[in-house]
């Protein structure tokens, strides 16, 4: 099947109670004709598949999951992000409710079983009291373990089910025929206690996991469900889904903005911290943009809607976070391979322990206890949860800090970067340059030239072009219109105004057009001496004027460099501006260039920037590139990781691996520190889970008994297993509040 025919969809999945369920869900989805790929994230309760929509339809996917004991939305992925999140939350709450009910039942009958043993009741009474725990409270565990075993992919539920059934059956056999299994009566307490600890661990784990993963819902909740629109001069409150682009939306003081838009009337300070992490309110007035989910201050606003719902910056950010939380890090594939063989190995160890103790002459009850303890002490769930829970928490923490990471693989690459390549304009500088000086050729009319420049630059998205346009409007007012406008990134822009051919561009672009290099150097000398960016104007094939354009560094640029240096990162500036202007900006932000110009380069085209990054990578550096996400696409694509500054809107969320939602280059340091902390968390989780199993399995099998006379009971093994998973989840959840301090490269 050609890959172009495949559609990638994300499904919320209900009914998963542990990490091993993710493998069962994946197997069920891959069994559906037309499904080429399937990745399941238990921590986020989602499955991402690549399918042929004409073959792998929603009902077929839902039916396959239902046969495997799981569920999804009826349309199997055709709903909105909000609908999927609501479904996953309902499914999660239902799972928690079922787990708590089962835990209550297990506790009640477990205590009754203990009382029967303490009061000396017949063994048959204790076995009967334990039966509801095993076959009612533990029904979900037994059914899940049996289904996995029948599919040939035994999982954690299989191990627990085998341990519980082994303990309860041993007690039942002893109660019926004591001579057949001496000492088997002691196991009657193990069965309910195993399930009590397993269910308690799952209940606590689900709560910790929910706290780490609720970021998407919190983001979606920022958008109010209704909006007040102006219709025929009348204010009408309507559901947000009915708001259309172009309508006027009214926002009162203290309310959240429901849509992306442009202020039509009014002025107010808006709290954008929920999206950008920046606590200081931002002033917004007529013509200025506002984002959905931000909190209006003390002034009423009339906003012209430009994007609603999923199309708004808030909707895109929520989708970005959910995609990251549902993605899988490369290391997870190794973990999956280990987990796939782990359960059969544990079963083999349990059988070996059973036989070894019997051969050694131990009573059958002791041998059964060792086998049951091995089965329940093992914890592939902790191993499987090590990576996805850390990614879940890191993506949520990033959203709160105003930094977004597209997927788990980007987290790993970010943690290993040792160099940062910044674009200058709009990244390290404000991106709002101004025309500082205009030098016109003798006999030329400055206002007339400005009118031609403004006509060609009308509608421009480039900062320098916007500066020229602003100067033209300030001086001339109404501007003529240009036709046949064509831009060459990094070189210039051309168009026709009336019967005049106009070209505006850089010195490099002028030289490439055939202008004499000495003349270009002469005309731009004054601007470059001031550290400004020179822009040349050619009309009808003749050089007519030179504009000196200056930009100012962002207030946080110097702090960004200090923080990146503390992280051990080398900083490079790659810019299309004139080298003199780039050097001036580098000096102002405190970037020393002791390498003879290699760290600060100007006069680069977009492809030159990409080539510079490739040079760094060829020299062994792992590079994070930071740009504005519009004309820096080659730069971002060439780096190991690309981050778009101010990425709450437009191309940025689509063009880069990461997005920095506030216009602050210091957020790049936050991004790297978060990634390093996340990777350290994953590694510690994996070390703990692996070390736990390496130690717990031989101890459960009785390795210490010959020297100490002690061995853990099956119930104690179950408690250790549940505690191991809970520890991994709690350690990952700590990412939500941990300090992001400078640390070594991963």
* Token representation of residue 745: 């490269």
Give the DSSP H/E element, type plus range, for residue 422.
Answer: strand 419-422
Three-state DSSP at 608 gives helix
Three-state DSSP at 388 gives helix
Q: How far is Cα 534 from Cα 509, in angstroms, rounded to an integer?
A: 11
Count Cβ atoms within 10 A of the Cβ of residue 310 and give its class: 0-12 exposed, 13-18 middle, 19 or more buried.
middle
DSSP 591-602: ---TTTTSSEE-
- Asked whether 433 and 554 are in contact (CB, 8 A), the reply is no
Contacts of 143 (CB under 8 A, 6+ apart): 69
- Asked whether 533 and 545 are in contact (CB, 8 A), the reply is no
600 beta partners: 573
* Token representation of residue 97: 């409710």
Q: Which of 336, 423, 608, 632 is catalytic?
A: 423
CA distances from 715 to 154, 204, 348, 374, 376 (A): 21, 18, 20, 11, 8
- Of 590, 629, 625, 592, which is closest to residue 609 (Cα–Cα)? 625
- Of 746, 743, 714, which is closest to residue 354 (Cα–Cα)? 714
Please report, to the nearest 10 degrees, the dihedral formed by the alpha carbons of residues 509, 580, 615, 745 taken in order.
-140
Please name the residue that has the structure tokens 């399995």: 697
Please name the residue that has the structure tokens 């740009």: 627
Q: Would you mind telling me the total number of residues written for the chain in this entry?
A: 746
Report the DSSP pairing between strands 542-550 and 434-440: antiparallel
Helix axes 156-176, 123-132, angle to 10 degrees: 150
* Residue 75 bears catalytic tag: no
- Asked whether 578 and 534 are in contact (CB, 8 A), the reply is yes
Please report, to the nearest 10 degrees, the dihedral formed by the alpha carbons of residues 460, 461, 462, 468 taken in order.
40
404 beta partners: 659
Contacts of 449 (CB under 8 A, 6+ apart): 440, 537, 539, 544, 545
Angle at 303 between CA 302 and CA 307, to 5 degrees: 160
Q: How far is Cα 569 from Cα 574, in angstroms, rounded to an integer?
A: 16
645 beta partners: 660
Count of CB atoms situated within 10 Å of the CB of 123: 19
* Token representation of residue 14: 């209900």
DSSP 303-326: EEEEE-GGGSHHHHHHHHHHHHHH
Three-state DSSP at 260 gives strand
**First and final C-alpha spacing in the chain:** 39
* Token representation of residue 195: 């399930």
Which residues are the active-site residues?
Answer: 423
């Amino acid at each position: 099947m050609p890959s172009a025919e495949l559609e990638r969809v994300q499904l919320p999945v209900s009914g998963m109670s542990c990490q091993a369920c993710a493998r069962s869900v994946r197997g069920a989805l891959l069994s559906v004709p037309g499904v080429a790929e399937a990745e399941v994230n238990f921590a986020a309760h989602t499955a991402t598949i690549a399918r042929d929509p004409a073959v792998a339809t929603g009902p077929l996917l839902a039916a396959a999951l239902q046969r495997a004991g799981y569920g999804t939305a009826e349309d199997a992925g055709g709903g909105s992000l909000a609908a999927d999140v609501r479904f996953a939350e309902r499914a999660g709450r239902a799972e928690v409710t079922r787990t708590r009910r089962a835990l209550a039942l297990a506790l009640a009958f477990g205590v009754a079983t203990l009382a029967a043993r303490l009061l000396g009741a017949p063994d048959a009474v204790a076995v009967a009291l334990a039966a509801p725990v095993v076959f009612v409270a533990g029904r979900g565990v037994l059914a899940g373990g049996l289904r996995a075993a029948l599919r040939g992919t035994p999982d954690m539920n299989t191990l627990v089910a085998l341990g519980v059934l082994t303990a309860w059956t041993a007690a039942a056999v002893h109660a019926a025929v004591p001579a057949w299994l001496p000492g088997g009566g002691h196991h009657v307490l193990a069965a309910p206690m195993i399930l009590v600890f397993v269910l308690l661990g799952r209940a606590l784990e689900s709560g910790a996991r929910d706290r780490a993963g609720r970021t998407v819902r919190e983001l979606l909740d920022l958008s109010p469900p209704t909006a007040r629109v102006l219709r025929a001069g009348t204010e009408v409150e309507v559901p947000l889904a009915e708001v259309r682009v172009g309508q006027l939306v009214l926002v009162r003081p203290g309310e959240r903005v429901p849509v992306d838009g442009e202020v039509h009337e009014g002025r107010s300070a808006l709290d954008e911290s929920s999206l950008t992490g920046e606590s200081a309110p931002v002033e917004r007035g007529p013509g200025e943009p506002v984002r959905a989910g931000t909190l209006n201050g003390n002034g009423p606003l009339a906003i012209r809607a430009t994007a609603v719902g999923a199309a708004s910056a808030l909707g895109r950010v929520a989708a970005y976070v959910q995609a990251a939380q549902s993605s899988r890090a490369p290391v997870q594939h190794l973990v999956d391979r280990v987990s796939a063989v782990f359960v059969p190995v544990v079963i083999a160890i349990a059988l070996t322990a059973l036989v070894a103790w019997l051969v050694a002459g131990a009573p059958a009850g002791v041998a059964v206890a060792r086998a049951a303890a091995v089965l329940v002490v093992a914890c592939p769930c902790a191993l499987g949860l090590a990576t996805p829970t850390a990614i879940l928490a890191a993506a949520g923490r990033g959203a709160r800090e105003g930094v977004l990471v597209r997927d788990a693989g980007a987290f790993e690459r970010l943690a290993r970067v040792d160099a940062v390549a910044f674009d200058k304009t709009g990244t390290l500088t404000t991106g709002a340059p101004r025309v500082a000086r205009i030098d016109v050729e003798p006999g030329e009319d400055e206002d007339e030239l400005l009118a031609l420049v403004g006509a060609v630059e009308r509608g421009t998205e480039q900062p320098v072009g916007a500066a020229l346009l602003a100067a033209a409007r300030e001086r001339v007012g109404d501007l003529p219109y240009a036709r046949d406008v064509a831009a060459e990134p990094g070189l210039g822009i051309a168009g026709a105004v009336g019967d005049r051919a106009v070209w505006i561009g850089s010195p490099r672009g002028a030289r490439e057009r055939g202008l004499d290099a000495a003349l270009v150097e002469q005309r731009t000398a004054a601007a470059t001496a001031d550290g400004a960016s020179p822009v040349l104007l050619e009309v009808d094939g003749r050089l007519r004027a030179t504009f000196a354009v200056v930009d100012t560094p962002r207030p946080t640029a110097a702090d960004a460099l200090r923080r990146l240096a503390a992280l051990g990162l080398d900083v490079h500036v790659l810019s299309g501006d004139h080298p003199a202007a780039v050097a001036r900006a580098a000096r102002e932000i405190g970037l020393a260039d002791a390498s003879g110009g290699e760290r600060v380069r100007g006069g680069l085209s977009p492809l030159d920037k990409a080539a510079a990054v490739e040079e760094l990578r060829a020299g062994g550096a792992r590079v994070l590139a930071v740009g504005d996400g519009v004309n820096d696409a080659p730069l971002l694509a060439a780096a190991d990781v690309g981050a778009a500054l101010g990425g709450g809107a437009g191309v940025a969320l689509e063009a880069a691996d990461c997005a920095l939602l506030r216009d602050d280059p210091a957020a790049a340091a936050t991004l790297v520190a978060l990634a390093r902390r996340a990777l350290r968390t994953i590694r510690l989780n994996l070390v703990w889970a692996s070390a736990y199993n390496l130690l717990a399995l031989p101890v459960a099998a009785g390795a210490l008994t010959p020297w100490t006379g002690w061995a853990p009971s099956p119930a104690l093994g179950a408690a250790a297993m549940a505690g191991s998973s809970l520890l991994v989840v709690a350690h990952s959840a700590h990412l939500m509040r941990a300090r992001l301090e400078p640390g070594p490269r991963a």
